[in-house]
Structure 1
């Protein structure tokens, strides 16, 4: 069976411009009288119209007339006759053998009227009941738009249309076609299925929801139905296997249209004034029905935004709702509170209302207390607790300016959320600041009471600086903020100093990977891990330097690297010269001429002898190496080699060079 898709506009059924049925009926009556020679003998009254007809056409096709016309030729149909005089006129025309124009706009009324008049197969083959059923099954129920039209027309034909299963057949057909629409792979490639994921991270807005609904016309058609039909369609969608993430948005859109929309509120008010009925009760009944349709608990998951539940809760205060339903709604909001937006929280709508005594505040407090008292592991992680605490503090920032909120009342509201749940006190500080601005005349003792729970160590840098300069804050808090600010400043300077030392202390060699320089003495870039070439693991310093730079991606420029490398190479050459001098010193002194030659080989003069008494730090040794005798040179070289061995083993050395001292490797060397 081929089913027309809701998006297929080619199957839309519209009423044909039918001829005047009354004129056709008169022609048929005259023609029948001429053919049979019988005058009209039956008088039928339908509402305010009277029909003069022949007895036989009605008697032969209708069980109702066959029973009623035996007693009298005058008959009055009941006021609730399906379709009224217009429908009976078409039934009478059919009884005279004329073809009846059927379309989705009149088929439901005709089928109900035919059933009322008992125009079944028992009183003639291919009678009206059979014909209308065929049209419903083979034409109407294959088209989305035709089915919607028939279902809407059934509202005025209840309960007969329900007994004839016209309503149920239309509902099942619409649900089936909606499921096919969701499952249509071609459509899903062209346009995604509408969900509520886009609304999860923003405040609830009726206008935004309307824009989303406009993307899918079939959803727009469903939410236009009365609640009784809509409820049954939702049940059919779930029975036929539609996933909840597609069903829930339909319910949300329906509630947004009939419960939350401002235009609908005006419609309810205007209709209530005209009809004089209690339409507020209708909204309450519809709202109660929406809550029954919505998934609750874990089934709700994140398919429905928290802002929607909060909007329903706010609306329930206006239209009235049972206490059980309100409690159920509050529990649902509490289970998803860590996904909420502070813009969705309830605030009094009236300008003269006091926030401190409002029912909205009482509900919000109850919701947060419900969240805190629950022990669900999935919603009570440290991060979610901190987020809920921030939401409450931001909500307090909106409540704080109310002049009717006293210090004691404000303290009670702060204590709703445990202080230990607050990882940051920035929003709490904003709330307290707003309260102090709105209550400039409270005493210092009351100020201290209000700010009792504020911890300056949990304030951000900007908030702490602002607190120090805030004259409204109590003196104790300002002193605490000053102390915390001093600690923060000291820490900032320390980190800045460490960063500077790290940038100028490049880890060129060694096996340690520390990000900080060792303790209090900085590393000297010019120290070389030179050791005896015969030792295992000996490497030229330039090789180690290049390897470390390649591995660590040093921040030094190439120019700095070349300069440092050049100085290190000079140091290695001087140390080699010193080693050769020491080797000459070990030769027996009987070879005196050779000793004279060795003196000529020494690269250092004796003019700097007076400087040998000064103990220059490592890095300025070039000024004194040539001024000492061979014995002291040997001792000093031995010490120097030990230092370089330590550098090789530990990866870095220590320098005692003061800032501003001359470079460790003068060019005079």
Structure 2
């Protein structure tokens, strides 16, 4: 039969515009009786419906009726007859020579019914088997929506629809059209194919995934039964579709049938126990199948967010996922754990009596341990991945620590899951310890000290360290350590500030400046500051001693003291500059030959600096240089050093010219 005629007649008779099939069949039966003068002689029972038909049209088209009517005219079709009474009604209409009402909604049932009734070319040319096959090939399999409709209908026609290759042909056709849509040689696609890259940096959200899935070109695939869906995924991979396009389809399917809020409500519904158990079993079967479809290894790390694996594992723990599938998910999560965020972690359910002994916590322990072992096997110890895992684990412990029944020993075991050396910062560990101590106020001092022994003040941020010092829950040892560390930081800050203004090369200066400014080069190499302050006994003490003394007295005002110390340093430089200018003026007035600046002159400058310190307390900056920012102060200090060089050289040149000038005056 001509395929174009099949297509034209089929499209003209859609299920929405066709007349009532039952009424049309009655018209054909009456017309046949009038033309032949023969009454109906065959009774066919299909389910609860009875059809009174003529014998000859059935014998002409069907091999099944040719055999059955030789024994009896009262035939009972089996209860699993493909398509039921609706399909047989159309078969009977076709047997009377009426136009075949084939469309995507009934072509599968007609093909299966025709096969059951043996309506092949051996009994009549252009029989129903050939017509339905042509419609499938020429019409249905060329259109995406029609193929999906037929595949949906095949669910009720198993296993015959499988034996007739209707399912496999639809699956391969859908996969082929999907691959062609990706290639899009004519560039007809208005928007790119949807991927899940946006989910890599966000916490897993079923609503967000549902919104993204609504933009996908193949959204209808996720409405298929899972037995067909998994075959389409396999065909997509065989035909060469890239994993970054295949994996999103799997994620969308899992989100609809396993992870969505609707499925959670179905599982939590206990009103109808038997129904709930059946649905839970179905969801568990789908979950198991999806785990088998997921890619593994490096392919998965590039296309599937780790939050999806964690969400699947969390559902699997409640639905009774098999041990192999849980192990597979845990291994994949362990390889990608450093890419996760703490909101994706599996948290114990609110109804769990003991968080410390929950299966969710035990699962996360196994995953963290496997992740660290995986990173160690790759030769990255410690690595950025391990540090990231340690940070995530400490954040997770902040939630776990709220369990009032968790003992100190168990909490210490959880902390030790990640080696202390992997933690670049202890801020999150401090938060977890603080939460634990708040929830367990009755533990002894010894237990408190044991739990807090993992905390190192050297790895705490400035804010966390200050908070730890003021926290009454922290042990005394930790507070003392934090105070001592702050003292060292203060001393180092003062020392660095002092060193930044020290002359690195004393030999660059000549005359009185070099001899008075660097009287002890060795002390410069040892890091001692060449500044002195006279005490009551006249003993000069290095600035390092004064800095240490000042650090002990003012450790609580670190930032302010750093700034004020810099300002005071620059004020001293200004005083030195003024003293040096007066020294040069004194040399010019005395007309003496060049000689180093007397120690008394420098001593006077130091005394003036001491007096200046008394007149201008730290923090009361009155000079123009002290009023600028710290960064600009360093620039001004560098300029001052250049001024020192010029003034020194100017004084030398003037002192050399003075003797000649005075000689000429005497001769005159």
Question: Smaller-chain TM-score range?
Answer: 0.7 to 0.9
Residue 306 of structure 1 contacts residue 340 of structure 1 at CA under 8 Å; is this kept in 2?
Answer: yes
Q: 1:265: how far off? A: 3.2
1:315: which partner in 2? 315
3-state SS, counterpart of residue 454 of structure 2: coil
1:28 aligns with 2:36: no
| Structure 2: distance between partners of 1:12 and 1:470 | 82
What 5-or-longer segments of structure 1 have no aligned partner? 1-10, 509-516, 523-563, 569-615, 638-650
Residue 521 of structure 1 contacts residue 655 of structure 1 at CA under 8 Å; is this kept in 2?
Answer: no
| Structure 2: distance between partners of 1:380 and 1:61 | 78
Q: 1:628: how far off? A: 3.6
Q: 1:498: how far off? A: 5.3
1:457: which partner in 2? 458
Deviation string, structure 1 residues 427-468 (Cα, Å, up to 9, x no partner) = 111111111111112121111001111110111111111111
| Structure 1: distance between partners of 2:340 and 2:369 | 15
| Structure 2: distance between partners of 1:12 and 1:414 | 72
Query: CA 1:36/1:185 → structure 2, altered by over 3 Å: closer, same or farther?
Result: closer
Q: List aligned pairs for 1:33-432, cutoff 5 A.
A: 33-184=33-184, 190-218=190-218, 220-267=219-266, 275=275, 278-374=278-374, 375-377=376-378, 382-432=383-433
Give the number of aligned pairs: 538
Deviation string, structure 1 residues 125-178 (Cα, Å, up to 9, x no partner) = 111111111111111111111111000001000111111111111111111111
Q: 1:187: how far off? A: 5.7
Residue 14 of structure 2 contacts residue 102 of structure 2 at CA under 8 Å; is this kept in 1?
Answer: no
Once the two structures are overlaid, the 10-residue window that deviates more, 335-344 or 262-271, is 262-271
Q: 1:190: how far off? A: 3.6
3-state SS, counterpart of residue 336 of structure 1: helix
Deviation string, structure 1 residues 590-615 (Cα, Å, up to 9, x no partner) = xxxxxxxxxxxxxxxxxxxxxxxxxx
Query: CA 1:410/1:265 → structure 2, altered by over 3 Å: closer, same or farther?
Result: closer
| Structure 2: distance between partners of 1:269 and 1:351 | 13
2:660: which partner in 1? none
Query: CA 1:617/1:27 → structure 2, altered by over 3 Å: closer, same or farther?
Result: closer
**What TM-score do the two structures reach when normalised by structure 2?**
0.75
Residue 266 of structure 2 contacts residue 276 of structure 2 at CA under 8 Å; is this kept in 1?
Answer: no
Residue 389 of structure 1 contacts residue 417 of structure 1 at CA under 8 Å; is this kept in 2?
Answer: yes
CA RMSD of aligned residues (A): 3.5
| Structure 2: distance between partners of 1:89 and 1:665 | 123
1:7: which partner in 2? none
What 5-or-longer segments of structure 2 have no aligned partner? 1-10, 510-523, 532-573, 598-637, 656-668
Query: CA 1:460/1:335 → structure 2, altered by over 3 Å: closer, same or farther?
Result: same
Q: 1:278: how far off? A: 2.4
3-state SS, counterpart of residue 303 of structure 2: coil
Q: 1:335: how far off? A: 0.9
Q: 1:423: how far off? A: 1.2
Residue 13 of structure 2 contacts residue 101 of structure 2 at CA under 8 Å; is this kept in 1?
Answer: no
3-state SS, counterpart of residue 469 of structure 2: helix
Q: 1:324: how far off? A: 2.0
| Structure 2: distance between partners of 1:14 and 1:380 | 68
| Structure 2: distance between partners of 1:258 and 1:442 | 47
1:624: which partner in 2? 587
Deviation string, structure 1 residues 390-416 (Cα, Å, up to 9, x no partner) = 111111111112111111111111111
1:487 aligns with 2:488: yes
Query: CA 1:65/1:272 → structure 2, altered by over 3 Å: closer, same or farther?
Result: farther
| Rg larger for | 1
3-state SS, counterpart of residue 457 of structure 1: helix
Deviation string, structure 1 residues 484-512 (Cα, Å, up to 9, x no partner) = 1112223333444556779xx9x99xxxx
**What TM-score do the two structures reach when normalised by structure 1?**
0.74
Query: CA 1:628/1:254 → structure 2, altered by over 3 Å: closer, same or farther?
Result: same
Residue 57 of structure 2 contacts residue 95 of structure 2 at CA under 8 Å; is this kept in 1?
Answer: yes
| Structure 2: distance between partners of 1:19 and 1:362 | 64
Deviation string, structure 1 residues 301-334 (Cα, Å, up to 9, x no partner) = 2311111111111111111012222112111111
| Structure 2: distance between partners of 1:452 and 1:209 | 43
Deviation string, structure 1 residues 46-66 (Cα, Å, up to 9, x no partner) = 111111111110001100011
Larger helix share, 1 or 2: 2
